[in-house]
Amino acid sequence: MIRSLLAALLVATPIAAVAAETAPAPRLSPQVEDVLRTPVLRAHIEVADELVRIGDLIDNAGVAAQIAVYRAPDLGTTGALSTNAVIATLRAHQVIGVDTRDIREVTVTRLARSLPAKEIEKQVIEVLQRRHGLGDAEDLALTWDREIEARTLPANYSGAPMLVADRFDRRSGRFDLSFEISGGADNAPVRLRVTGTAVETAPVTVLTRPIERNEVIKVSDVAIERRPKAEVTSDTVTREAAIGMQTRRSLRGGQVMRTTDLTKPDLVTRDQSVTLIYEAAGIYLTSRGKALETGTEGDVVNVLNLQSKRTVPATVVGRGQVVVMVAVPRVLASAGGAASAVAPEPSIARSSAAKPE
């Protein structure tokens, strides 16, 4: 009987051992699993909040993850903590056995959103254009009551600036605009207020120096500047049109050039020695003369022929040059084939009219 029982035990023991090896291990609760995991220190962390929590500093923090232990650095900056100080802080909160991985210090960066001054200025220009019909950005001259500075916001304030107040006086150009940036349902929005003056401008031609009466405008005498649109009238001239023109009056430096200020330059002046050019079909003669009047290109002035001592009307064609149109008799063929002269028309040469037979 005893031998039977021993045999049964010897057979049953290996079977029980095999069953124990193949049976699944009992599943542990999440709390127990957290305890069994080894906390691991992080070398660098980034936080969006103003507080640093244990769960930010180590992996596998377990139930202690939400405990705040440090105040985060300023927005957009990075600070450092020695590993010894971090371990001491963790032990004070019953977090032990942390694997430091030979890390000597932990760096902490406070995440932030940078809002450049140019972005704020762009928002103001878009409001003035879209809501008040002002011109392009290059046509606007903005003056700020207070210089716009870049803003640094918490990282969760990621929304676009939204206009919440808009006041604009078209006559004076004064504006007072307020924007809000949302930080989520749990945070109050950040408010931005911008005030100043906006003036529409346009490019105009101005003098770079004082100009005396009858001076001819040179390339170096004029430049392009932007001036308030209210000062720009329909009689302003372009830079190209002003160059080479003559002033009607004395003008000051910086003055806007207008058509009433300019005229064609005098190419011939009174008592000036000029070249008389006689032109006709097949004829081109020159002589010396003296201008009796002042004239610009295209003007007809009286000129004294210094050789014949006769005064003739001539057209100004260049500097110190005038042209006298000479009438030439027309030649017609007679019935017998011989050529005969026909007197010029009276309007051309009244003194050469043919006598009646």
Question: Is the sign of the CA dihedral 199, 204, 207, 208 positive or negative?
Answer: positive
Residues with Cβ within 8 Å of 76's Cβ and at least 6 positions away in sequence, in order, are 110, 111, 112, 114, 152
**Domain 30-110, second-level architecture:** Sandwich (2.60)
Buried-exposed string 253-292: b where 16+ CB fall within 10 A, e elsewhere: eeebbbeebbeebbbbeeebebbbbbeeeeeeeebebbbe
List the chain residues with pLDDT less than 50: 1-22, 332-357
User: Long-range contact list for 238-245, CB < 8 A, 24+ apart?
Assistant: 238/205, 239/205, 242/205, 242/217, 243/217, 243/218, 243/219, 244/216, 244/217, 245/216, 245/217
Q: How many CA atoms lie within 13 A of 258 on its CB side?
A: 13
Class of domain 265-352: mainly beta
Three-class secondary structure of residue 89 per DSSP: helix
Q: Please, is 199 exposed, middle or buried when counting C-beta atoms within 10 Å of its C-beta (0-12, 13-18, 19+)?
A: middle
Nearest to 254 by CA among 293, 284, 211, 285: 211
Looking at residue 118, its amino acid is K
What is the C-alpha separation between 121 and 175, in angstroms, rounded?
13
Q: Please count the other Cβ atoms lying within 10 Å of the Cβ belonging to residue 179.
A: 21
What is the C-alpha separation between 94 and 32, in angstroms, rounded?
16
Nearest to 49 by CA among 79, 73, 65, 67: 73
pLDDT for the residue 327:
64
pLDDT for the residue 330:
57
pLDDT digits (tens, 9 = 90+) for 240-283: 999 989 999 999 999 999 999 998 888 898 999 999 988 887 77
- Residue ranges of E strands in 133-282: 140-144, 151-154, 162-168, 174-181, 190-207, 222-228, 246-247, 262-263, 266-268, 273-280
Residues with Cβ within 8 Å of 269's Cβ and at least 6 positions away in sequence, in order, are 291, 294
- Beta-bridge partner residues of 289: 274, 305
What is the C-alpha separation between 175 and 173, in angstroms, rounded?
6
What is the C-alpha separation between 91 and 41, in angstroms, rounded?
13
Class of domain 202-263: alpha beta
Q: Sketch the domain layout of the chain as residue ranges.
A: 30-110, 115-201, 202-263, 265-352
> Are 65 and 44 in contact, with CB atoms under 8 Å apart?
no
Q: Please count the other Cβ atoms lying within 10 Å of the Cβ belonging to residue 113.
A: 19
